[in-house]
Each structure stands twice: as C-alpha cells, then as structure tokens.
Structure 1
C-alpha cells in the first residue's frame, strides 16, 4: 500500500473512496520520501503520528504552524508551505539533491 500511496496518489484515492469500510494499517509502513499531498486518509486509517503530521502539513496548509522539535527526517515536504512556521529544533535531513546549508 505504501508504494501505491507514494507513486500513484490518484489510484490510491480511487481505491480508498471505493473501499471506505476497509481498515488500513500504515502504522509500520515505510513512507520515506512518499508524496502524501492529496492522499485521502480517513478515520479508519492507522498511521504513525510522524506521517500523520506530514500528511496534515501537506493537506491542511496553515500559517504559523508550530513544528518546534518535530522529527521530519525522510519526509517529502517539497510542496509544503512552511512560511511563518516555527521550525526551531525541527529535524529534517536534506534529500539527496538538496545541498546542506
């Protein structure tokens, strides 16, 4: 499931909409570099708190988000709007193509 979410968001969303009653456990899924933007989750989806935060950042943009001390290592935040967010102490390693500053 994690591979489908990461690479084929539209396919996942169609399947999810057609199978709302199916409980999905992504609690131990490897979602490193997964594009969670636009991905549909519901109350039955079990997902690690870290990845739920990444999903929320991408799908519910808000200004002044407090990410102080958040561990977002491996998160694909390429389309995240983090303007005005509190990033103090946030842990995120650059992706391979990003330079260390």
Structure 2
C-alpha cells in the first residue's frame, strides 16, 4: 500500500512537515512447485539423478536439501534416499 509519512514537532503540535509518500510493494509470488524426472541407479550406474523439468529459466535456482542452491537443473551422483526439491526465484530475492 501507499503510506504518508510526516514529522511533527512535539513542542508545537501544529508544526508538521510536508508528507512523504512511501509505497510498500505486494509480496512476490513464490515459484510453482518444482517437477522433476528421476533416473534410478542400476547395476551399471550405482547412483541416481534428479533433473528439474519446471519451473525453468535463468531466474531460478534449485536445491535438494533446502540450503544449497544451484542454477543447474541436474543433481547427479545421488545416493539412495529421499530428497526434497525446492526452487527459488533469484530475480526477486
């Protein structure tokens, strides 16, 4: 919303500054829930791979642990386990 900010002299309440108009923007939209393709380990390739399929674009980073993010859509050499894939918009931190 838009707010008007003024300063007032406490010793003379009739002495008030000209208003400054300040705008607070809406909360940015979070990226859509990521989708991904998974390549399971095999006897020949004993590690797995997660490839993000959406959202895609230069403004996104991805994580499989919620802490470490990367621009690449591929997570390789993964051991067995459960991974939580998240996406964040880097153009609107």
TM range (shorter): under 0.3
Indicate the structure (1 or 2) with the bigger Cα radius of gyration.
Answer: 2
Q: Quick check: which one's helix share is greater?
A: 1
Q: Quick check: which one's strand share is greater?
A: 2
Q: Could you tell me the TM-score, scaled by structure 2's length? A: 0.19
Q: Could you tell me the TM-score, scaled by structure 1's length? A: 0.18
